[in-house]
Each structure stands twice: as C-alpha cells, then as structure tokens.
Structure 1
C-alpha cells in the first residue's frame, strides 16, 4: 500500500485524543531549577535547531533555564539510551525523532531502550520533509541529472546522513530503491557534520530535513522535496512526484519525551506550555519558513503516545520497503 512507503503522519486517531489536556496553571514546586533538554544528535541539524527554539521559548515561559544537551552517536540511540536512565522528575527531557523511536528498533540489534515503555509522551512538535540537496558548486543542476548519474555510474556518488537509521539514511535508501540510484552511504554523528562536509564538497548529496538555512543562504542547492506537495519554505523546488517518482515520500517527526513514570501533572503542564509555544505565530513562521516544519499544534500527550505506537508498527514496513539493513 502506498502509505507504507513514506514516513508521514497517520491521521487515523480518535478525535478525542486531539483535545488538549486541561491542567492547573502551575504544578506546585515545579519547576524550581533549570531543565535539561537532551538532543541525541550533534549540534547544527534539524533536531538541534528545533530544540533550541523550544528551549529558549519554554525557559521564558516557565521562568527557568532550559539547557540543550547534545549527546550524539549511533543514529541518536546512544543519547536516547542514556536518557532513559534519568529520573522521571521533569528536569530532563528528550527531543525524540522518528529515527530513534520508530526506525531505531528495526536497525539496531542492541538498542538500549524500549521505544514505548521507557518513555512518557509529553508533546508532539511536527514533521519535516526530506529535501535532496547538493553543494552550490555541484555539477548537478536538477534531481534528474543526479539520479541519471547514480544509475549510469554505480557507486561513484556518495551521500551523507546523520547516522544509520536517521531520516536521511532511510530517505536515501528509499531513493535508491524507487529511482535505481546506486550511491555510497557515509554516516555521521548528526546532520550538522554531514552538512559541513557537503558544503565543502566532500559529499555529492544529502536528503536532509534541517539545512534550509544553508539552502536559502546559497551554500547548498535544493533539487527536490520528498513530500506530496511543495513546501512553503521552498516554493520553487519541485516534489519528487512532479519528477515522476510518486513513491518518493519521506519525512521525520519530532516530539518531546520524558523518562517513564513522569507524574501526570508535570506531563500535562509541559504539554500545555510547549503547545502554547508552537501556537505562537512568530514561532510558527520561524519553524515553517526557516526549517520547513509541517506543524499541527494542540496535540495532547495521550495522542502523541498513541501516534508513537502506531509509527512503530508502520516503520517495520518502511524499513522493509527502504531496503535499510540492521547493524
């Protein structure tokens, strides 16, 4: 089925789960000290950029510093595995992604955490479609030129990712399958380092979710978007579907989690505060125009928990279709 061939939001959840939770204006005694927001990727990528926006805005709302803590490695699983050992007191949160909590279980034999049982869902943030990008100095001026070379000269092109199991890895694996491209995978500890090497001409391409600032600055050239429709941030860049690859649909989702057994009042408080941030017109514009985020603020914590369980099931088929292998 077509929906099993891309990484996107399922809209089949109960309407009741879309109603935001109602909680008291404040949780007594919380927060009384700074909060740490763990980002299981290197600085400079989409997860890091999203996290820093939310950390700054959340800190201002709750009158406590929210500090981003980057813990990169193994497709986000190293930092995530360390995170689940933290106390469930609301002072350590995680910016989770589809890579860690949906794809990871099918790509790593030693994951180090249960993608559902070890977490408390807090707030869904949104998703970002993958974008095919090349250096500004690249000889490829269109997606067709790159795909044609990748088919005619197997193994001569290389592509960077944020690590095995990352959205970049799965998107590239899908491109290789649906378009017949043969290219060499170069994994990094996050998309930031991969983007740096791409801009330096050390890589031929990437299918990224977080480098729109570099595209808009002219350091990278966007060739195609792996979404059903063109995105607001890149209105002049065609979709893969427009180029004849209708099944080339890929995106990554992002959301805030806490360790398992977080008290419900703190869960509801954080959900409401983060949703208030996401509903802010200034934040919405920044995320949509600068990062290409597709947003749907107002999702409560139970909805996010059910979404994660559904995505975990769906990614079993996504991994199979993409051709990505377990490490």
Structure 2
C-alpha cells in the first residue's frame, strides 16, 4: 500500500468514528407514534395531546397520539414495550401505570424498569376531591360523616385499579377510617361522567378542571400542600385538619429499552425547550398541571424513587392486586 492510499484509508476511518450514526443525523425523518395508555377524555390524554403537539413543532415531524386503554394502562404499555427502539414510538409514562401498577397487579405485561428508556419529566397534577354539582356534600367532613353513618353505601370512581384516583380514594378511606365502594372504569373520563350524573358519590380526579369550571362538579379539597392557583377558594385537606392526604399524578416521556442515546437526547431537548417558554407551560397550567423538567438521568432517578414510594403507599392503603 502506498502512502497516499494509507492516508486516504486513515482519513476515512477517522470520519467514520467522528460522524454520528445515520439515525441520529436524520432523526426524525418521519411521523412519530406517541402511545397514551389511557382513553380519551382524562388528564393523561389531555397531557399527552399537549405534549404531542409541542413535540410536533419542536421536532418538525408529526407526533400523533394513539390511545390504547385498559387494565390501568397495562394493555397499552405491554404493547408499547415491544415496539422497535428507534425513537419512532414514544410513550406517556404516568405514576399510575409506571409506579403503582407493578405493586397492584400480579402480571402487568412489562418490567417496570428494564423495559423502558426514561426520556423526560413533563408535569404533575394534584388530585381534587369532587362531588356532583347537586350533591349535599359541601366539605370532605360531610363525606366522612355520611360514610360513617352508612358504611358501604357511598361510592367513588376511578380510571381503573392503580390509577391515581384509585390510590387517592383508598388513601382517603385509610386516613378517614371509612368504608366506601370503589368503582373502577376504563379511564377517568367515563368515571367523571358518572360523577356528573350523580351515579357516584365522589371522585378524586386530576382532570376535573373543565368540569369544575363548567359547574358540572363541585371541588371540595385539593390533595396537595398548597391551593391551586386556578381555584384559590378550594382548600387543601391539611387546612381542613385532615392529615396525610397528598396525592398527585405525574407524567413523563419514555422510549422502549435500547433506544439510542442521541435520539433520547434529541427528544429530551425538544420537550424541555417546549416547557421553557411558549404555549405549552400555559396550556399545562390551564389544566392544573405544574411543569417539571430535567435530564433523562434525573427522570430515571425520580421514576425509581417513585416505584419505591408507591410500594409503601399501596401497602398503606390496602389496595388489592387484581
């Protein structure tokens, strides 16, 4: 081999090392599927659609939502984890499915850590105790007194076993020492509809903002450490002397395990940019959500800590495995 050929080969090798993989250079060059493992009409769906819209703008490619509901988010999630890890299938991770379900279900269809690549935190929404607009209950104490007067007669709804509304409801039962019936639905949308219709006594919901504003349900208390700016007149449980009632639902973006790091970095940068300014923070605030940002590593640490926290919470509430 002469000197010129040697130099040419050496330069080619250096370029091959220096250039990022083709998928990182081109990504994204087609539409991205965004799996939301909950039905339309609830808080998860609302957050998912806002995130998809923001990512569409940031990435320059269509990001479309696919709702795959059922079994507390487990059906859609078990399908998602089998997707090709190329960045063209993303997922809305939630506290219900990704922190609570592993402790509630004997079989979820996925491994809670190793089947995912954490990408980014997005937001958290505190649970609000709501009752039908025509309900005689004016405060959480009214609910507690009625439940103690007639054990097993009141009912509360949730978006399914393991949903944040379910755990909030079970926590309320534990804290208040009451016996009420849990009625699970395939998503919080159908559940809140039955609250509005008076078929359920109450519900803890993270997606109730439009129904409260529309006068279709009445908010009694917020399961948070401070009042919501949207409803400054609604007290926290702590203000009412009911201790231990703090519950929110968190949301983030995940990819299948094995997704290339450059793709994860690209999506993380896109969502953090959208959360830093523009319409997305306003839109999230408008549904009662608090923005959360960070690196993939920070989201991973948070996710793992939440798995441990929810294990304790599930044991405390006595929520059953289905």
TM-score, normalising length: structure 1: 0.90
Measured against aligned partners, the alpha-carbon deviations of 1:203-255 in whole angstroms (never above 9, x if no partner) come to 11110111111111111110000001111122110001011112111111111
Q: Confirm or deny: 8 A CA contact 1:161 1:190 kept in the other structure.
A: yes
| Equivalent-residue separation in structure 1 for 2:117 and 2:29 (angstroms) | 21
Question: Aligned with 1:28: secondary structure?
Answer: helix
1:242 aligned residue (239, 242, 255): 239
Name structure 2 gaps, 5 residues minimum. 1-19
Q: How does 1:109-258 map to 2 (within 5 A)?
A: 109-258=106-255
Measured against aligned partners, the alpha-carbon deviations of 1:108-159 in whole angstroms (never above 9, x if no partner) come to 0011111110000111012111100011121212222112101211111111
Match in the other structure for 2:46: 49
Measured against aligned partners, the alpha-carbon deviations of 1:45-65 in whole angstroms (never above 9, x if no partner) come to 111000111111211222211
Name structure 1 gaps, 5 residues minimum. 1-22
| Equivalent-residue separation in structure 1 for 2:258 and 2:229 (angstroms) | 39
Match in the other structure for 2:271: 274
Match in the other structure for 2:302: 307
Match in the other structure for 1:293: 289
| Equivalent-residue separation in structure 1 for 2:126 and 2:57 (angstroms) | 29
Larger Rg: 2
Question: Aligned with 2:114: secondary structure?
Answer: coil
| Equivalent-residue separation in structure 1 for 2:254 and 2:222 (angstroms) | 28
Match in the other structure for 1:64: 61
Q: Confirm or deny: 8 A CA contact 1:93 1:258 kept in the other structure.
A: yes
Measured against aligned partners, the alpha-carbon deviations of 1:303-323 in whole angstroms (never above 9, x if no partner) come to 101111111112111111122
Match in the other structure for 1:90: 87
Q: Confirm or deny: 8 A CA contact 1:42 1:193 kept in the other structure.
A: no
- Cα RMSD after superposing both structures: 1.5
